[in-house]
A = this chain, B = another copy of it.
Amino acid sequence: METTSIDQEINASEQIISPEALLTHWQGHRKLTRKVIEAFPEDKLFSYAVGGMRPFGEMLIEIMDMANDGMDGIVTGKWKAIHDLDHASGLSPVKTKDQALQLWDQVTEQINQAWPQISPQRFLQVEAAFGAYEGRIVDTIFYFIDNEIHHRAQSYVYLRTLGIEPPAFWDRY
């Protein structure tokens, strides 16, 4: 069997994160985001915002769509286009806090089930995520995680302006 440069890369001794560690990292952040959803008053999740931005409920749908459709794309190699992601997700509509939490847990399971189907080689393949964003699969996954951290942090400001103390940033258990 021929050794490709990708094989050489993943076999190199200087790699420092395993797929399992990356999954734990992501799901740790997702546990914190779930606590933030719980901290929101029911009537504020889809209506309240600061600075002309979106309510956190809308950001949540983006985060869940990205994870849901993203894992599908990573496992199958077939990506929904951006347009479909924005406007026609199978996950929507989500209109209440309970629905958001239920869907959150569904996506948690979906990620856990998809993960073992991603080979070490697959993580290092370069592909246009959602037909648009070219990068290695592992970097696409970091984009999902970082985008979640980013929007969750904005919701921390929303909560603070409502007089609610958000969960601690390190509380990912």
With contacts A50-B160, A157-B50 taken as known, whether A18 is within 8 angstroms of B11 at the C-beta atoms is no
With contacts A15-B15, A18-B12 taken as known, whether A149 is within 8 angstroms of B138 at the C-beta atoms is no
List CB contacts (< 8 Å) of A126-173 with chain B: 133, 138-139, 142-143, 146-147, 149-154, 156-161, 169-170
Q: How big is the A interface, by class?
A: 35 or more
Give the docked Cα–Cα distance between A139 and B172 (Å): 13
Query: A5 in the interface, Cβ–Cβ < 8 Å?
Result: no
Which DSSP category, helix, strand, loop or mixed, fits chain A's interface?
helix
Which of these, B25, B153, B170, contacts A151 with CB under 8 Å? Answer: B153
Digit string of A35-65 for contact with B (CB within 8 Å is 1, else 0)? Answer: 0000000000000001111000000000000
Top 3 A-B residue pairs of the complex, sorted by shortest distance between their CB atoms: A15-B15, A51-B160, A153-B153
Sample of 15 A–B contacts (CB below 8 Å): A10-B14, A11-B13, A12-B18, A14-B18, A16-B22, A16-B123, A16-B124, A17-B22, A50-B50, A51-B159, A146-B149, A150-B152, A150-B169, A154-B156, A154-B157
Interface residues, chain A, with chain B CB atoms under 8 Å away: 9-19, 21-22, 25, 29, 50-53, 120, 123-124, 133, 138-139, 142-143, 146-147, 149-154, 156-161, 169-170
